[in-house]
Structure 1
Amino acid sequence: MGKIQNLEYILVHLDGVLLKNILGPILYSMMNSFNIQYTLEVERNILARPLEEIGNYLRSVHKISLSNHELFETYLTFRAEYESNTVIHKQNGLIDFLNRIQALGLKLIAYGGAPKEYFNQHLSEHLIYFLEPRYIQTRDFRPGLIEIMNQLNVSSHQIIFIDEEANVGRVAISNQIPFIGFEDNFAHSFQPLELKSLNLDYSVSSLNEITEDLLLKIDSSLNRINPKY
């Protein structure tokens, strides 16, 4: 096994990477209830965006009359209904992925907009793999990459993010933060197309593709940022 030289943390989106995507189906149903056609533009202006930006977009472009608070409450209602009627599945290959990360000595933390209780509920059997705080909720500072890095007090060569949302990838690219795009499996999602348009250096369609070799390759590429190695 090779040795990681630069990376210390691996931050993984909860909904869509560790767990099967439920954000897409919820957003799709919510937009249908507003009689809004579900398009690439809708995803681009909502996914991984702050609530204020989402509200401004829906009010100005789609003439939705709800306040930010009302929009969020509506989302919570749709989410609660979806969760109560749907079995939340873990991504295929999760256990092997967790073991690979542990074997490489990387510090694993999950993040996302969902409350920490949701993380604990669905990954309770695997908490030993995650470093405290184990999960960082980004609801109030989307997409959250810079805020997470500040919270952990790390530089860009010490951390990598894995996410299925292109807006997260855009922030990673603009700030030279290592990033792996994860292909969304939701039938109506435009995120695979969006991620492809970013010309990412690293993109996968399953946790099984996030191999030791891939992570070592990414780590080695960071020597130019952290030339002491």
Structure 2
Amino acid sequence: MEQLRQISLAAVNIDGVLLNDTFSPVIHRFVTSRGGRYDAEVEWEIFSQPQLIAAKALGVAAGLDGSPEDVLTAYFEEREAYLAEHPLRLLDGAADLLRRLRGLGLRTVCYGGLDKSHFDRHLGELAHLFDGPGYVCTNDFRPGLHEITTEFFGLRHDQALFIDDVARVAEAAKELGVPFIGHPSDFAHGFQGELMRRVGVRHLVGSLDEIDEPLLRTLDAEAAAGRVRSG
């Protein structure tokens, strides 16, 4: 398989891309069960933010007076209860996607807002398919595209492809000129697909199998031609 010419790194989000989305349902229930209104703006303020910033927005949406720390504690308690009934699982096509990326000559790294133990527990069996640190926790510098690309791998923005389920990350990618593929959650009450279209994401997929060689070569050609930021 001929290697890509421009892109040399693929950074793949953990929750919502490699693992099933367990954040949207819990956040939705957290807000609506307390009488709050859940809409696209709520998701925009919460998703892919540092935990305490997200917790502050979550508390406002849910109408709570507690501190962000208290809201965060309550949220994770509810998430644990949700996971007991809806366990985390590897999404269909995840391992094949990683092998496909590597087959095109890309280094791969996983990233997300939870600490590395989350990666080790749920993706440890695939650790051999990742490079560098394997996993980067971005909670302290979200969304983390610039840091992962330049600081962890020493690359230019147009040499790294990010695959994520959140529109805020897509917006940052567009601003930086980072190649991006959106994989929004299929959660019935979610707005990430709508928000990604609003941001102007051109490459949206509904399954990991859609991130095939032709799509990856298209992104590579766009990056080489300096067309990542366009339209």
Larger CA deviation: 67-76 vs 55-64 = 55-64
Contact 1:2–1:216 (CA<8 Å) still a contact in 2? no
**Which position in structure 2 is the counterpart of 1:36?**
36
**Which position in structure 2 is the counterpart of 1:160?**
161
**Which position in structure 1 is the counterpart of 2:50?**
50
Work out the CA distance in 2 between the residues paired with 1:103 and 1:113. 27
Unaligned runs of 5+ in 1: none
Specify which structure has the bigger relative contact order, considering alpha-carbon pairs within 8 angstroms and separated by 6 or more residues.
1
User: Where do 1:38-187 residues align within 5 Å?
Assistant: 38-58=38-58, 63-152=63-152, 153-187=154-188
Instruction: Report the TM-score when normalising by structure 2.
Output: 0.89
| Structure 2 SS opposite 1:29 | helix
**Which position in structure 1 is the counterpart of 2:198?**
197
Distance 1:187 1:58, change over 3 A: closer
Contact 2:146–2:157 (CA<8 Å) still a contact in 1? no
Larger CA deviation: 51-60 vs 78-87 = 51-60
Distance 1:178 1:77, change over 3 A: same
**Which position in structure 1 is the counterpart of 2:224?**
223
Shift of 1:52: 4.8
Contact 1:46–1:54 (CA<8 Å) still a contact in 2? yes
Task: Render the CA deviation track for 1:170-200: whole Å, top value 9, x for unaligned.
Answer: 1111111111111311111111111122222
Task: Render the CA deviation track for 1:36-91: whole Å, top value 9, x for unaligned.
Answer: 12211110111112345435545667653121222222222122222233222211
**Paired letter, 1:190:** F
Work out the CA distance in 2 between the residues paired with 1:37 and 1:2. 50
Contact 1:183–1:206 (CA<8 Å) still a contact in 2? no
State the percentage of identical aligned residues.
32
Contact 1:4–1:216 (CA<8 Å) still a contact in 2? yes
Distance 1:187 1:94, change over 3 A: same
Work out the CA distance in 2 between the residues paired with 1:216 and 1:191. 25
Count of aligned pairs between the two proteins = 226
Work out the CA distance in 2 between the residues paired with 1:48 and 1:151. 20
Unaligned runs of 5+ in 2: none
**Which position in structure 2 is the counterpart of 1:6?**
6
**Paired letter, 1:76:** F
Work out the CA distance in 1 between the residues paired with 2:137 and 2:148. 10
Q: How large is the RMSD of aligned CA atoms in angstroms?
A: 2.0
Larger CA deviation: 43-52 vs 17-26 = 43-52
Work out the CA distance in 2 between the residues paired with 1:134 and 1:62. 35
Contact 1:166–1:194 (CA<8 Å) still a contact in 2? yes
Contact 2:162–2:180 (CA<8 Å) still a contact in 1? yes
**Paired letter, 2:112:** G
Shift of 1:116: 1.4
| Structure 1 SS opposite 2:15 | helix
Shift of 1:19: 0.8
**Which position in structure 2 is the counterpart of 1:19?**
19
